[in-house]
Structure 1
Amino acid sequence: MQVSVETTSQIERRVKVQVPAQEVDQAVVARLKDTAKNVRLNGFRQGKVPMAVVRQRFGRDVRNEVVGEVMRERYVQAITQESLNPAGYPHIEPLVNESGKDLEFVAVLEIYPEIELKGIEGVDVERPQVEISDADVDQMIETLRKQHASWQEVDRAAQDGDRITIDFQGFLGDEPFEGGSAEGHDLVLGSNSLIPGFEEQLVGAKAGDEPRIDVTFPEDYQAEHLAGQEATFEIKVHKVSAQELAELDEEFIKQFGVEEGGIEAFRAEVTKNMQREAAQAVDNRVKQQVLEALKNANDIDVPQALIDQECEGLKRQAAQQFGMGEDFDVSQLPNELFAEQAKSRVQVGLLLAEVIKAHEIDADDEETKAKVEELAQQYQEPQQVVDHYMGNDQLKNQVKSAILEEKAVDKLLEQANVSDVEMSYEELLKAAQQQNEEDKEEEEAAQEETDKS
């Protein structure tokens, strides 16, 4: 077997392989003999079909089958011989495939990039410093009470924060438009769940009112036929309901797993959860800065095969999140929606792998279990979670990977100029929420494409 390798780009190789004709032809003859033993043709008994007839009827298909197997086997031998590290599957094409001639084929493949890792020395990283005050805890408890609030119908004009139950029909000019109607729709005034100007015009409405309101759809509205259009909505108000916050009593507190200790124990539990949430938000904010700096310092070529694989994973996540079902064909979602995020993930993954390798970072079972125990504290039955994770190699490896990533980020952080920045709990959460909203916009774009599919 003769092998030659041509470098066509930083991460692409063109491998040309030549296999002696005798080796291929002998394999074809052997396969034809096996075929002759089992083939059934009219006029011949099984196993008694002449080889000339077998070759005429099945020769081409058998040769293609054998050549395919030989090319796959020799490809593996070739990349092993040439110490190539492929990223994804190759494109293999025969160049010469004739009986009596050496088989020649070419395999075009992407390889993992050779990375000369650059650090992030001198990069400025801001690390939020957050103290949770009594006022923050009071506000969180108030939020929890709102989340568990009930609605009571009232006989008065609707106020901001009230929930109104309405029917509505939208019109462009005199024509109703698709998707512009609903019956028995519950709308919380001030929630900004509908287009700008809609909810504000319903403040002051009472049960039985039938207001007519005018609104303008935003220029960037997702439904292109409505973007920037002026519309009129005819509305019928069925009822107005006011929110009644949950009582801060023993029954309410028990919903959060606090069985003893009353209000003080509940406040302590809320504070602990807020501290954990704040710590996670700080870590994520620092991590994002470090990884962005790492990408900026190392502009590497990323194999398209790895990007495509990551796209497939993101598509499956999107389909699962939007309840599309296991039978949904994710290939209907265009790669363009996920390509940028997929490329970034692959780039970060490759670079972090180099950091881990360069600093010989590892995590043993004891560290993994400690991490699982930390994560399990968020659940009502922590030990069950620990047992489940530690008894599942796939889940345990996922936790180990997360630990290695944390250690790699910490190692990079040692190179940066880290400055502590005072930040309130509210500011920290707003920044995290903004990031979540950006992620949500990407998910909604995926949902639109899913709906089109």
Structure 2
Amino acid sequence: MRVSVEAGEGLERRMRVDLPFDEVGAEVEKRLQQLARHAKLPGFRPGKVPLKVLRQRYNAELHQEVFGDMVQKTLYKAFEQESLIPAGLPQIEPDLDIAAGRMAYTAIFEVMPEIRLASVQDRVIKRPVCELTDADLDDMIQRLRAQRKTWEPVDRPAQQGDQLSVSFVVKVDGEPFEGSAVTDFKLELGSGGLIPGFEEGLIGATPGETRTLDLTFPEDHQTKPLAGKPARFEVTIDSIAKPRLPELDAEFVKGFGIEDGDLERFRADVRRNMERELKERLIARTKERVMDMLYEANPIELPRVLVESEQRTLAKQMRQALGGGQMSLPPERLESDAKRRVALGLILGQIIRDNDIKVDPERVRETVEHIASSYEHPQEVIDYYYADEGRLGPIRALVIEDQVVDLILKQARVEDEPLTFAQLTEQ
């Protein structure tokens, strides 16, 4: 076969493969001989149909069949011959002219980019560091109390933190917007649950009062006819309730699985959970900083086919995370994240190859044990993972990624960035 390659735009390549027509003809004749042994046609006994008749009837069909087989047989040989690594399945354009004795095809595809990694020795990575304090523990316990708060009706002007029951209608251009009338809507002032200005406009309102709020919907509002539009909200305050936190006592503690209601044991449990969360967040944030640096230091021209595939994957994952159903997110909106993920995958792969990094079995075991530690019967979880090599695949991928992070932290300039527990968990 003869192979020629033309470079298209970016990473696109057009590879023409001319197949040896004499070999094609020989294969067609071979298949005709095989067909003749059992062919059945009207007017002929089975296996007695003349080759000339079979050739007239099946010649074009057999050439197409042989052509398809030859494409499969020669395509990846041609890639290898030309030292090309396709980024995805190629589009095949056939070029057949049996009368002229020509059988060829053009494969259109994108190639994987050549990656030359930049040195990271002069790059700075801000590594977050944090110490858990007693004040952090107290804040967390206060949050846990707030999660279990109840509401107590009051007859006074509304304050930040109150829960209001309101009824309202939205008017656009002086007319009520269809479907905008709402009754008995529960709103916690300060939660940021509605458009900017709505909650602030109700501070100081009293039960039974009606207020008119002239506001503008954000440009990216989910209801497209309202996006960026000025509107008037006519809001009636039906009732006001203030928050009431539960007492920090034995009854409260029992709700968190401390059967004897021991407050000190409860505090110790909360601290352990916070320490575990702190460790995980520090690792995750450090990894994120390393990935940011690698992405910035190594700009890569990316194959469109890989980015588009990643966009579809991200869209599917987001639909599942949001409950599935008919909800759909346009893949184009995820293009930026898809490009980052594809680029980092290529960069990490190159680092692994350049440094001959092999996954550490001990770290795999430690990771599995860490996952299992949050379950009631850890050994059952460990046995589950090790009973099937396929289940360990994602764990191994995570571990080798961590090994890359460790390598980069040794090579780059690392500066510690002190953060409080609140800063680390809020970001």
- Residue identity matched to 1:298: N
Residue-by-residue CA offset, 1:80-136 (whole Å, 9 max, x unaligned): 344433221112212344256141112123232332322211111222221121111
Q: Which residue of 1 is the match for residue 421 of structure 2?
A: 425
Q: Is residue 346 of structure 2 the alignment partner of residue 347 of structure 1?
A: no
- Distance in 2 (CA, whole Å) between partners of 1:302 and 1:312 is 16
1:163 Cα offset (Å)? 1.6
The number of residue pairs the alignment matches comes to: 427
- Distance in 1 (CA, whole Å) between partners of 2:316 and 2:52 is 51
- Residue identity matched to 2:407: K
1:139 Cα offset (Å)? 0.6
Q: Is the 8 A contact 1:22 1:100 kept in 2?
A: no
Residue-by-residue CA offset, 1:208-247 (whole Å, 9 max, x unaligned): 4443333232345444533443322223434333322233
Q: Is residue 383 of structure 2 the alignment partner of residue 387 of structure 1?
A: yes
Q: Which residue of 2 is the match for residue 435 of structure 1?
A: none
In terms of Rg, which structure is larger?
Answer: 2
Q: Is the 8 A contact 1:10 1:113 kept in 2?
A: no
- Distance in 1 (CA, whole Å) between partners of 2:395 and 2:253 is 32
Q: Is the 8 A contact 2:126 2:414 kept in 1?
A: yes
- Residue identity matched to 1:214: D
With normalisation by structure 2, the TM-score equals 0.86
- Residue identity matched to 1:292: D
- Distance in 2 (CA, whole Å) between partners of 1:329 and 1:184 is 27
Residue-by-residue CA offset, 1:386-432 (whole Å, 9 max, x unaligned): 333333433311111111111101101112111223222222233x2
Q: Counterparts of 1:106-145 in structure 2 under 5 Å?
A: 106-145=106-145
Query: What SS class does the counterpart of residue 226 from structure 2 fall into?
Result: coil
Q: Is the 8 A contact 1:25 1:99 kept in 2?
A: no
Residue-by-residue CA offset, 1:250-275 (whole Å, 9 max, x unaligned): 44434444456822222222222222
- Distance in 2 (CA, whole Å) between partners of 1:272 and 1:21 is 74
Q: 1:225 to 1:7 in 2, by over 3 A?
A: closer
- Distance in 2 (CA, whole Å) between partners of 1:242 and 1:39 is 89
1:288 Cα offset (Å)? 2.5
Q: Which residue of 1 is the match for residue 269 of structure 2?
A: 269
Residue-by-residue CA offset, 1:295-330 (whole Å, 9 max, x unaligned): 2332222222221221121111121122233xx697
- Residue identity matched to 1:80: E
Q: 1:6 to 1:215 in 2, by over 3 A?
A: closer
Q: Which residue of 1 is the match for residue 147 of structure 2?
A: 147
1:140 Cα offset (Å)? 0.8
- Residue identity matched to 1:418: V
Structure 1 spans left out of the alignment, 5+ residues: 433-453
Q: Which residue of 1 is the match for residue 358 of structure 2?
A: 362
Q: Aligned Cα RMSD in Å? A: 3.3
- Residue identity matched to 2:130: V
Q: 1:8 to 1:226 in 2, by over 3 A?
A: closer
- Distance in 2 (CA, whole Å) between partners of 1:258 and 1:89 is 58
- Distance in 2 (CA, whole Å) between partners of 1:339 and 1:84 is 26
- Distance in 1 (CA, whole Å) between partners of 2:162 and 2:416 is 42
Q: Which residue of 1 is the match for residue 299 of structure 2?
A: 299
With normalisation by structure 1, the TM-score equals 0.82
Structure 2 spans left out of the alignment, 5+ residues: none
Q: Which residue of 1 is the match for residue 225 of structure 2?
A: 225
- Distance in 1 (CA, whole Å) between partners of 2:115 and 2:311 is 23
Q: Which residue of 2 is the match for residue 18 of structure 1?
A: 18
Query: What SS class does the counterpart of residue 177 from structure 2 fall into?
Result: strand
- Sequence identity of aligned pairs in percent? 40
1:353 Cα offset (Å)? 1.3
Query: What SS class does the counterpart of residue 237 from structure 2 fall into?
Result: strand
Q: Which residue of 2 is the match for residue 436 of structure 1?
A: none
- Distance in 1 (CA, whole Å) between partners of 2:230 and 2:86 is 56
Q: 1:312 to 1:56 in 2, by over 3 A?
A: farther
